[in-house]
Amino acid sequence: MTLAKARASRTSRITRTVATGAAIAAAALFAAPAAVAADAHHTPGSRAQQGGGSTVFVQSDDTAANTVVAYARAADGTLARKGVYATGGKGGILPGTVADHLASQGSLAYDRHNHLLYAVNAGSDTVTVFAVHGTHLQRVQEISSGGSFPVSVTFHGNRVYVANTLGGGSVQGFVRTGERLVKVPSWNRDLGLDKATSAVGQISFTPDGSKLVVTTKASGQSIDVFPVGAHGGPSARPVVTSTPGAVPFGFAFDSAGRLRVTEAGTNSVGTFTVGRDGRLTAKATVPTGQTATCWAVTAGNHLYVSNAASGTLSGYRVGARGELTALGNTATDAGTVDAAASSDGRYLYVQTGVKGVVDEFRVGANGSLTAIGSVVVPGAVGGEGIVAG
């Protein structure tokens, strides 16, 4: 049986087990965790050492001891494991989740310019800073996240912000000085959400660094935009765009700065433009036809969104005026979650949470995805957080 047929068969079996309940539950509850298989595709010291390549970092979210696993990328895009590095904190599991323990996008952030990596420790309410030396990581700091259960981190220049999902949701800002973070107490914002539920999907700066965007799900179901002042602090209150029923989860920006938001409630992709004042203007909504559409990543002029319960990626070509043209769906291992594209847009790496596997794809000029292998990430069943160089 070919790899594509095997994956399609496995995806079909998983899909038949998916419950047809609410979309939020579908994003997290759809399969029992399976035993982690041995990594038969690539082993440390294989082709990646010979090809020059770049790096991919994956967070395990291990509740005993959170780790980041470093991989070298070979010239053909395949990965070879180079090291496992403890964050000093613990991962966390939101109640009811299986494939996506953090139920978020962006729990790992890579500052390539300053050679720093930021990782959230949801179970410890902390953030870890690593200095990056190729595929070697040096832990330099672990600092309080300023809230409960951090799930997403972003940076722009020397400003770093973390979103905490529990306790009503909050945002905390830091200033980076050298390789360390300094918490700024006045840069903390309470999102005022239901304290009994997981609230935040993702936090990210806009490409120009002038605004912070936060998606809220569960009781919130809104996209909150905080304009950022000249000194780096967020506005006192966000500009809130309510999206009832949509359940905004993850998002990505295209090359023109348009916001592409996954909407788990309607299994669709919403496109918005961001005004200078932080107001969003809805431009279009495209259904995926899949289940639990929750994560998004851009690769060149293509957009890919992860459908956790379907075990697929939905691909789109981004047109000159921002229109999305569907490219079809590509099967992955079970529990498709966070994803990252190489900086040249030629390769896509996708976390799949049921077995803790990262699937590797080559991106064609037309946006087609060709499977080139996969690696099992140690201790990463249910883990989220992946970045690529």
Task: Look at 15-24, 95-104, 144-153, 255-264 and tell me which has the smallest mean pLDDT.
Answer: 15-24
Contact 205, 190 (CB under 8 A): no
Provide the whole-model pTM.
0.87
- pLDDT of residue 67 exceeding 80, the answer is yes
Beta strand 211-216 with 222-227 is: antiparallel
Mean pLDDT of 48-60: 68
Mean pLDDT of 17-24: 34
The whole-number pLDDT of residue 367 equals 97
* Residue 228: band (very low, low, confident or very high) from pLDDT cuts 50, 70, 90: very high
Task: Look at 2-6, 196-200, 329-333 and tell me which has the smallest mean pLDDT.
Answer: 2-6
* Residue 214: band (very low, low, confident or very high) from pLDDT cuts 50, 70, 90: very high
Mean pLDDT of 204-208: 98
Tens of pLDDT, residues 347-370: 999 999 999 999 999 999 999 999
* Closest by CA position to 99, among listed 295, 308, 240, 294: 308
Tens of pLDDT, residues 262-285: 999 999 999 999 999 999 999 999
* Residue 26: band (very low, low, confident or very high) from pLDDT cuts 50, 70, 90: very low
